[in-house]
Chain A
């Protein structure tokens, strides 16, 4: 793979042994759509390691053997690429970038990133906004990134909006981040301006520790994507921007509670489609409604019926994505046996007691936050959530076994 930045426009070319169909870090097959994209709202004078890392979050799935950047990177970054991926990276010759003092939040506006933001009330936001690609037809105009950007602007926090079409480099399964870390590409290019030493994401207990996302269904202490000692964690650290998961120790029930009771509650939006509010009709709205109903202990309020295509996956057998939250909802939503989730009840023995571990914070998630930001998160969790007992910790660590 050869990578060229022209200003903040990225283009890349495949080496002979690279292929158009590659694999993301979670082993999901991804197909390349086109070999260019651009990032807006960012300076063009970032440290070479930041340019290299930003590019790597985009080209990693399609790189087999080596990556050649258009400017020299530090030996530390090259070593992290080699150790993590077995990839030869160069040219080498730059001084490493030292970590800055600021922690910023990669803010999408969903419940999880709002919760992460409430842990650090002083942290500035970096918001990624999708824009169309000049060469790829946009067949997804229902994705209302403009609405989300407007909501982010109303939060009153220091906000940096980066615009990018990088999601259109992905043809299959659909446009999106080639690697989950590509959401940080713009934030990385801003890292010198913001004096960043860490970037906080809304990834919660399920994504970090329970193999969530594109589903592994087991305890994942060495999560390759989000653990600080995983290959991505070490690569980000080498560029002086540590991965920080402020809500990595709590479930989506807790992030929902924190977000909907926070100062930012009026600006929370997990739906990508709605304009005046969540659309209530997409799969994500249904999933989040189950969690919200469970947290508020009220019946499910959704117009979605069992015959809708978005409901299909909940009518099948488990495992489900975010299964721990399905169990939590099944145990707590009044009248759940009269909803489309009724069928799922047959597969689980759930009760409030058996799911109460999802209401507390897993302590190891706080321990892995870099020292300069750890105490603030620990104090927040102690005051607002409470830590898991040993028995509850065991529930996390035996998940899926």
Chain B
């Protein structure tokens, strides 16, 4: 290795030039501290947001059923029951109609005077 004597002033100038191009250790520490602080702030915000999401998710089903007072509810239940029963009764009625036509046709076929020609022109239902 070769050592060269460099005048102190020049050495200092070169060192200063180098130092000016790099961030000091103190500045680095500050940067890291700032970044850490930033991360912690974000973490706190995340926790707040998460609890907000959780709160909204839990709040939705509770908010969903609209306020129905007792009288309205009784009325609604009754209407629902009536609709169900009417529909069910109508099922039976429609089926009976089919069976009645079946019986009518059977009787008609047994009558002595055939009315087949006339029957053919009538719709079945």
Contact = CB atoms under 8 A, between A and B. Distances in A.
Nearest to B109: A16
Nearest to A37: B125
Interface stretch (B3-11, B41-49, B60-68, B97-105): B97-105
B94 A4 contact: no
Nearest to B122: A4
Interface in A133-176: 135-137, 139, 171
Interface in A79-127: none
A357 to B, nearest CB: 44
Interface centre among B90, B95, B99, B125 (most CB of A within 10 A): B125
Contacts of A14: 98-99, 101-102
A323 interface: no
A2 B106 CA distance: 12
Given A137-B86, A137-B87, A139-B87, A4 B98 contact: no
Contact of A20 (B86, B99, B123): B99
B124 A12 contact: yes
A4 B124 contact: yes
Interface string A181-225: 000000000000000000000000000000000000000000000
A34 B90 CA distance: 10
B94 A136 contact: yes
Contacts of A6: 123
Contact of B106 (A16, A35, A135, A139): A16
Contacts of A18: 102
A244 to B, nearest CB: 33
A35 B123 contact: no
A37 to B, nearest CB: 9
B106 A11 contact: no
B124 A35 contact: yes
A32 B102 contact: no
A70 interface: yes
B120 interface: yes
Given A139-B87, A171-B91, A11 B98 contact: no
Contacts of A15: 102, 105
A313 interface: no
A20 B98 contact: yes
A36 B90 CA distance: 15
Nearest to A133: B94
Nearest to A34: B94
A3 B98 CA distance: 13
B90 A137 contact: yes
Interface string B73-115: 0000000000100110011001101110110011001000000
Interface string A12-33: 1111101010000000000011
A11 B102 contact: no
B101 A36 contact: no
Nearest to A138: B87
Nearest to A171: B91
B98 A32 contact: yes
Contacts of B99: 14, 20
A362 B1 CA distance: 82
A13 B95 contact: no
Contact of B90 (A4, A16, A20, A136): A136
Contact of A70 (B105, B109, B120): B120
B101 A35 contact: yes
A13 B90 contact: no
A137 B91 CA distance: 9
Given A20-B98, A20-B99, A70-B120, A13 B87 contact: no
Contacts of B98: 13-14, 20, 32, 34-35
A39 to B, nearest CB: 15
Given A14-B102, A16-B106, A33 B94 contact: yes
B102 A16 contact: yes
Contacts of B95: 20, 32-34, 171
Nearest to A31: B95
21 contacts: A2-B124, A4-B124, A6-B123, A11-B124, A11-B125, A13-B98, A13-B124, A14-B98, A14-B102, A16-B102, A20-B98, A33-B95, A34-B94, A34-B95, A35-B97, A35-B124, A70-B120, A136-B91, A137-B86, A139-B87, A171-B91
Interface of A: 2-4, 6, 11-16, 18, 20, 32-36, 70, 135-137, 139, 171
- 4 smallest A-B Cβ distances: which pairs? A11-B125, A11-B124, A36-B125, A137-B87
